[in-house]
Structure 1
Amino acid sequence: MARIFITGSADGLGQLAAQSLVDKGHRVVLHARNAARARQALQATPGAESVLTGDLSSQEATIRLAEEANKTGPFDAVIHNAGVYQVPAAQLFAVNTLAPYILTCLIRMPERLIYLSSGMHQSGRVNFDAIQNNINRISYSDTKLHVLMLCKAVARTWPDVYANTIDPGWVPTRMGGAGAPDDLQKGFETQVWLAEGKDEQANVSGRYFFHQKQQRYNPAADDISAQERLLALCGELTGVSFPA
């Protein structure tokens, strides 16, 4: 039985992954943006251990969330599921890039880290000038490339951790819309599969998965100097250093 923390698990893929893991006998700690969403999360996921609250668009709230998570005890896996799409660029960067960076740095190191990216990362760019000087030029695709780069850096520098990234597909959630063409169940099953690690094919690190299969990804994510610069910029912007 594993203990697992899932960000953005009040609804959508995060909630579905949480319920599946609870049904499999795991101890799952949920996360929601505020108290109202926290109540919704617990109601939607009977059997969950608890729920933590924190608005990931706020660096201060995200740091507090990490502190609260650590107070509850260690986790075997953390799933960085939370994300936003059609919002202003500053919020995209805060939630999709900075929040997983902060939580990765501050939550006590688990055995498994799972990050949600998107197939749209393929058109993302590593635009450091935009990060430093004009955040409004950051796109959703850029942030999902950042997530993959973060995962790659973790896999490279933390050999005791299985760190992997997922493209859940364009699935019919509140974010994806009712007309999304991909399979909703397959959209969350890879999170569950990687968090459990029962299959040898899940016991790898630094990989990019779509429906439990390794896929090609934007090769810019493998640029170690770019990874290091991204980590350094995130550290400067948040005041949170990446643990060596």
Structure 2
Amino acid sequence: MSRIFITGSTDGLGLAAARTLMAEGHEVVLHARSPERTAALGSLAPSSLGVVTGDLNSADETRSVADQVNEIGRMDAVIHNAGVYLERGRGATPEGHARTIAVNTLAPYMLTVLVQRPDRLVYLSSGLHRSADTSLHDIDWVNRRWDAGQAYAESKLHVATLAAAVARLWPEVVSSAVDPGWVPTRMGGSNATDDLEMGHLTQTWLAVSSEHAARTSGKYWYHRQQTMPLGEVKQADFQDVMLRKLADLTGVEFP
């Protein structure tokens, strides 16, 4: 039996992963954006190891989420599942820009550093990361004209790179990135064509399986099959530049 913390576990892939792991007998710490959002967990919450709350759009609340998890105790695995995609018209504001970067890039980085180091880390990326700008220039979109699709792609490049950097720098931790595909969640929409079940079962498999493949660090996965991310993801120099930028933006140093 393992202890697993899952960010963004009130709906979509995160909720599906939580249900699967709890059904298998694992202890799961759930995460909700606010106390009000915990209602979406229904009967799952009382059966969990705990529910932590905090909006990952806020650096202070992200720190609080880390503190709440650490108070519960050391996790065996953390699944960085939470993510947002703000379409033009909904996210074409400074607040929308900030939320995309904060939730998709800065929060996973901060939680990686601030939550007591587990045995396994799983990061939700996207195949769209392959279309991202790899310059790492103005990654928080302060000086560029906003492009919601490009910002999302870049955020998923960042998180895939974070997973690869952790695998390189923390050899005792199994760190993996997952492309769940375009799945019919609230974010993916009803027209999505990928397999929702395989989207979340890859996460849970990487978090707890004793199979050799699931315990192989530094890989990029799609439906339990290894695939190749964009080349920069695996480059140590690119990883180091990104980690430096994220440390500067958050004030949290990668150890």
After TM superposition, the score normalised by the length of structure 2 is 0.91
Q: Equivalent residue for 1:120?
A: 128
* Greater displacement, 28-37 / 43-52: 43-52
The 8 Å contact of residues 70 and 108 in structure 1, kept in 2 or not, is answered as yes
| Whole-angstrom CA distance in 2 between matches of 1:134 and 1:24 | 47
Q: Which residue number in structure 2 is paired with residue 75 of structure 1?
A: 75
Q: Where in structure 1 are there 5+ consecutive unaligned residues?
A: none
Q: Which amino acid aligns with 2:47?
A: G
**Residue aligning to 1:48:** 48
Shift of 1:126: 2.5
The Cα shift of 1:46 comes to 6.0
Give the total of aligned pairs. Answer: 243
CA distance in 2 between counterparts of 1:190 and 1:98 reads 23
Separation of aligned partners in 1, 2:45 and 2:205? 19
For 1:45 and 1:114, how far apart are their aligned partners in 2? 22
Find the residue that maps to 1:139 and give its secondary structure: helix
2:143: which partner in 1? 134
* One-letter code aligned to 2:143: N
1:104 corresponds to: 112
Distance (whole Å) between structure 1 residues aligned to residue 137 and residue 131 of structure 2? 17
The 8 Å contact of residues 45 and 51 in structure 2, kept in 1 or not, is answered as: no
1:102 Cα deviation after fit: 0.1
Query: Which of these residues, 160, 166, 169, is aligned with residue 154 of structure 1?
Result: 166
Corresponding letter in the other structure for 1:17:
A
SS of aligned partner of 1:114: strand
- The 1-side partners of 2:124 and 2:219 are apart by 12
**Deviation (angstroms), 1:44:** 4.7
**Which secondary structure does the structure 2 equivalent of 1:127 belong to?**
coil
1:129 is displaced (CA, Å) by 2.3
- Deviating runs (4+, > 6 A) in structure 1? none
What per-residue deviation string (whole Å, max 9, x for no partner) do you get for residues 95-142 of structure 1?
Answer: 100000000000000000000000101101223322265264661000
Aligned AA (1:93) = I
3-state DSSP of counterpart to 1:129 = coil
Q: TM-score, normalised by structure 1?
A: 0.95
Equivalent AA in structure 2 for residue 101 of structure 1 = Y
Alignment of 1:212-223 (within 5 A): 212-223=224-235
CA distance in 2, matches of 1:124, 1:219: 12
1-structure distance, mates of 2:213, 2:186: 30
User: Mapping of 1:1-12 within 5 angstroms?
Assistant: 1-12=1-12
Other-structure match for 1:197:
209
Q: Is the 8 A contact 1:126 1:146 kept in 2?
A: no
Q: Deviations over 1:40-90 (max 9, x none)?
A: 224356622211001001111101111111011000000000000123332
Over aligned residue pairs, what C-alpha RMSD do you find?
1.4
Q: Write out per-residue CA displacement over residues 183-202 of structure 1, whole angstroms, 9 at most, x where no aligned residue.
A: 11111000110011221111
Per-residue CA deviation, residues 143-200 of structure 1 (Å, 9 max, x unaligned), is 0000011011100000100000000010111001111101111110001100112211
The separation in 2 between residues aligned to 1:216 and 1:130, in whole angstroms, is 26
Q: Which letter maps to 1:131?
A: I
1:227 aligns with 2:239: yes
State how far apart, in whole Å, the 2-side matches of 1:220 and 1:30 are. Answer: 32
Counterpart mapping for 1:83-98 below 5 A: 83-86=83-86, 87=91, 88-98=96-106
Residue pair 1:42, 1:51 contacting (<8 A) in 2 also = no
SS state at 2:137 partner: helix
CA distance in structure 1 between the partners assigned to 2:84 and 2:56 by the alignment: 10
